[in-house]
Structure 1
Amino acid sequence: MRRLRIAAVGDVHDQWDERDNAILQGWNLDLVLFVGDFGNESLTVVDCVSRLSLPKAVVLGNHDAWYTATPWGRKKCPYDRRQDDRFQRQLQMLGGDRVGYGVRDYPELEVSVVGGRPCSWGGSTWNLQDFYQSQFGVGSLQESGDRITAAMTAATQPLRVVLAHNGPFGLGDAPESPCGRDWNPIGSDYGDPDLTAAIRASQEAGQPPVLVVFGHMHHGLRHTKRRLRQAFAQDEWGTVYLNVASVPRIVGKGDEMRRNFTLITLEGETVTEADLVWTDNQGRIDRSSSYFKPL
């Protein structure tokens, strides 16, 4: 049975440097997954991530289009967008590692990584029409779901992993659900229905994804400090869903600095381990917590 070690990186928010690259390089990893939100169109962070010399897949988050996608962001943009399109520059830096609305096959791992909707703000309402039409040629939730479904269908490898910024609709409507709304008005499912439609189509076609990795909805809840967001779910098809957005991902200073990663073990078609780990600057793990217990 093939055993794969995968690292997933939650929302970065400007907390990434060459030490993170070195830590991942020092571990025996087969694949690294990034859910985006590197910063507010932060070219420095994206450039650093692009230099990680491991098999990797990346989807961009809403902050990665912060000054491009919305009228408010364009008004607040600190650079001259007529001279410098930093959103496009991020796409160019990431090159073929970017999987939003697409698929990347890793034949040596027998894995295909399918990307969900890039730059998702979350929720069931189709917003940012001009942005998605101009950047991706997508004009509705239906078209968005069709694009993700097409990427699923184009996958060539037996193991399908879905990588998205925001998770799918249908994982619960409580504030602490994996994609639950934790700000006023409290409650409701803030997942992406287009992603749900694509996952369900793949499941019904007899090719259920083994794993769906996403972030956006931070583990820390806004309305209470007494508990954290639910980070794990599994459906009747056996698909495992992991929200890996433990933010901030770096805490402390100097020798007390700690940084988090999610380490996932895949044995055959089964996710057997998924742990949020905290390391020092040399990559020594000093604390970990399991997202779930193996079935």
Structure 2
Amino acid sequence: MTSQETQSINLKIAVVGDIHDQWEVKDGVALKHLGVDLVLFVGDFGNESVEVVRAIASLDIPKAAVMGNHDAWYTATEWGRKKAPYDRSKEDWVQDQLDLLGSSHVGYGKLDFPAWNLTVVGGRPFTWGGPEWKFAEICKERYGVTSLEESADRIFKAVKSAAYETIIFLGHNGPSGLGDRPEDPCGKDWHPIGGDFGDPDLGEAISQALTAGKTIPLVTFGHMHRDLRHTKKVQRKPIFRSPEGTIYLNAASVPRIVEDGGEKLRNFSIVTVEAGVVSQVSLVWVGNDFQVAKEEILYERSHPVVQSA
């Protein structure tokens, strides 16, 4: 892609953080009112919540999604299988979700968007996060991936197959390398607190994509909730800006639907891309009238977030 083509990329993206069964018909209406061009879902729709995924799959706005650890809750582990509320010999709710999403599911894959000369590349499906690979068996069974090195290769293979030089990465968990404090975007916030709980395979694939000369305006994910487990004095930092200018956004503001004075407020992270660069990121809460009731500016290009050492 030429620099002129990159500069022509202007769009408004909604990133939907961990849903955990909080999705209603009004969410789709709210997205229409927000006037977004593209919707990115970071996964954790619920505990294998097929009906939530069915509703999202019917959304008639360009979209891409990845599957989170909760989306294989009754399938990926022995203890989960024992708690499954359905007969796993007759049904496969994980596959039902994947079938519903179809090409919109970009885990270990990609989706090209010709309208904006960009490609969305997905990270590892069903990730739990961290340097040790939890839920490894399901990726081996469904994707034939047996190590984090193979996983990084699989993600970068999707990068190499992208139709466009501008790449947005979409993961359930974010990449390693964004900090090791509990309040960092992928920091470990349970005891013993501290440590980088990002995905090393996603981090490696992003590094390879940058080395290959790809333009990466945005990497977005969820999994690690903004409210911290060990303290209520501070919240997780939702934004990291890399030296290359890539914006890393953790969109998991949970619960994403709250009651406030008798009114339901639903949140979306809104990313504005101008001339191929992220110019603003905000967390908006949409009210019953589908207007923005609250807005928190998380990043503005003219006033970038200062990264502490």
TM-score if structure 1 supplies the norm length? 0.97
Q: For residue 94 of structure 2, what is the aligned residue in structure 1?
A: 87
Post-superposition shift, 1:255?
4.4
Q: Does 1:252 align with 2:245?
A: no
SS in 1 for 2:111: strand
Q: Cα deviation per residue 1:30-83 (whole Å; 9 max; x = unaligned)? A: 110000100000011101101100000000100000001111101111111011
Contact 2:155 2:205 survives alignment (8 Å) = yes
For 2:136 and 2:252, the matched residues in 1 are separated by 26
Partners of 1:77 and 1:254 lie apart in 2 by 37
Structure-2 residue corresponding to 1:54: 61
**1:66 match:** 73
| Residue 128 of structure 1, CA deviation | 2.9
Counterparts of 2:99 and 2:179 in 1: how far apart (Å)? 36
Give distance in 2, aligned partners of 1:247 and 1:128: 23
Which of 108, 111, 124 in structure 1 is aligned with 2:118? Answer: 111
The worse-fitting range, judged by mean Cα deviation, of 155-164 and 39-48 is 155-164
Q: C-alpha distance in 2, partners of 1:232/1:203?
A: 19
- Per-residue deviation, 1:253: 6.8
Q: Which residue of 1 aligns with 2:3?
A: none
Q: For 2:52, what is the secondary structure of its paired residue? A: helix
Task: Indicate the residue corresponding to 1:201 in structure 2.
Answer: 208
Is the 1:5–1:265 Cα contact (8 Å) retained in structure 2?
Answer: yes
Which of 254, 261, 282 is the aligned partner of 2:268?
261
State the AA in 2 paired with 1:28.
Answer: G
Deviates more, 1:112-121 or 1:203-212: 203-212
1:152 to 159, 170, 181: 159
Gaps of 5+ in 2: 1-7, 303-309
Separation (CA, whole Å) in 2 of partners of 1:128 and 1:60: 12
Say yes or no: does 1:11 pair with 2:18: yes
- CA distances 1:63-105 after superposition (whole Å, capped 9, x unpaired): 0000011111011111110111000000001011000000000
After superposition, the CA RMSD in angstroms is 1.2
- In structure 1, the partner of 2:226 is 219
- The one-letter code matched in structure 2 to 1:185 is P
**Letter of the 2:216 counterpart:** P
Name the amino acid aligned to 1:114: V
Report the counterpart of residue 100 of structure 1 in structure 2.
Answer: 107
Q: Which AA in structure 2 matches 1:141?
A: L
Look up the SS of the partner of 1:57 in the other structure. strand
Partner of 2:116, secondary structure, is coil
Cα deviations by residue, 1:186-211 (Å, 9 ceiling, x for unpaired):
00000000000000001011114110
Where structure 1 has 5 or more consecutive residues not aligned to the other structure, the ranges are none
Q: CA offsets, 1:111-142, max 9 Å, x none?
A: 10000001100001123332111111110000
Q: Distance in 2 between matches of 1:68 and 1:281?
A: 36
Q: Label 1:70 to 1:4 Cα distance change in 2 as closer, same or farther (>3 A).
A: same
Q: SS where residue 216 of structure 2 aligns? A: coil
Between the aligned partners of 1:40 and 1:65, the Cα distance in structure 2 is 7
- Which position in structure 2 is the counterpart of 1:182? 189
Describe the SS at the equivalent of 1:210. strand
The residue number in structure 2 matching 1:127 is 134
Greater shift, 277-286 or 63-72, is seen at 277-286
Is the CA contact (8 Å cut-off) linking 1:14 and 1:45 kept in structure 2? yes
The amino acid across from 1:237 in the alignment is E
Count of aligned residue pairs for this structure pair: 295
Measure, in 2, the Cα distance between the counterparts of 1:281 and 1:158.
40
Moved beyond 6 Å, runs of 4+: none
Partner SS, residue 138 of structure 2: helix
Shift of residue 232 of structure 1?
0.4
SS at match of 1:108: helix
Could you tell me which of 46, 70, 75 is aligned with 2:82?
Answer: 75
SS of structure 2 residue aligned to 1:291: strand
Identity %, equivalent residues = 51
SS state of the match for residue 242, structure 1? strand
1:148 deviates by: 0.4
Classify the secondary structure of the residue corresponding to 1:155: coil
Give 1:286's aligned amino acid.
A
Q: CA deviation at 1:254?
A: 8.5
Q: 1:39 aligns with which of 46, 52, 77?
A: 46
CA offset at residue 158 of structure 1?
3.0
